């Protein structure tokens, strides 16, 4: 759950909506801990609020940032184009690379050699 950023070495929580369960804990225990950590990430002091201007582009580095759009558009249209860039395999604080426990991500474009 803690990922080391490959460029800065900064440690960050790698959770969000994709994290389903903590290995070694029951589903209920996992959910409680993940909910607690997610509540921490979503605290106002941990959130960047951006004031948009017309035709503006914002890019997030999701290796250390969690995107969460607050629904406060006052009835205005919001257009979003999400792109996921294939990149490095997340590395934990002990230097070990992440690995797939369950699931299939073959529908994503593979990383070019």
pLDDT, one tens digit per residue, over 82-113 is 777 777 788 889 999 887 777 776 666 665 55
Q: What does residue 3 show for φ and ψ, rounded to 5 degrees? A: -115, 145
Chain centroid to CA 38: how far?
11
Residue range 41-82, pLDDT digits in tens: 888 888 888 888 888 888 888 788 887 777 777 888 877 777
Query: What average pLDDT does range 16-21 have in this prediction?
Result: 80
Cα 47 to chain centroid, rounded: 13
Q: What pLDDT, on the 0 to 100 scale, is given for residue 33?
A: 95
Burial of 53 (0-12, 13-18, 19+ CB in 10 A): exposed
Say if residue 26's pLDDT is above 90: yes
**CB 66 within 8 Å of CB 58:** no
Domain edges within the chain: 1-86
Residues 97 and 90: beta-carbon distance below 8 Å: yes
């Amino acid at each position: 759950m803690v990922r080391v950023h490959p460029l800065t070495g900064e440690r960050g929580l790698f959770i969000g909506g994709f994290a389903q369960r903590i290995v070694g804990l029951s589903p209920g225990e996992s959910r409680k801990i993940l909910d607690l950590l997610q509540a921490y990430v979503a605290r106002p002091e941990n959130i960047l609020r951006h004031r948009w201007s017309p035709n503006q582009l914002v890019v997030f580095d999701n290796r250390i940032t969690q995107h969460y759009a607050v629904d406060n558009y006052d009835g205005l249209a919001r257009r979003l184009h999400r792109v996921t860039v294939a990149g490095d395999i997340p590395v934990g604080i002990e230097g070990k690379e992440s690995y797939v426990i369950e699931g299939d991500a073959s529908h994503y474009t593979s990383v070019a050699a």
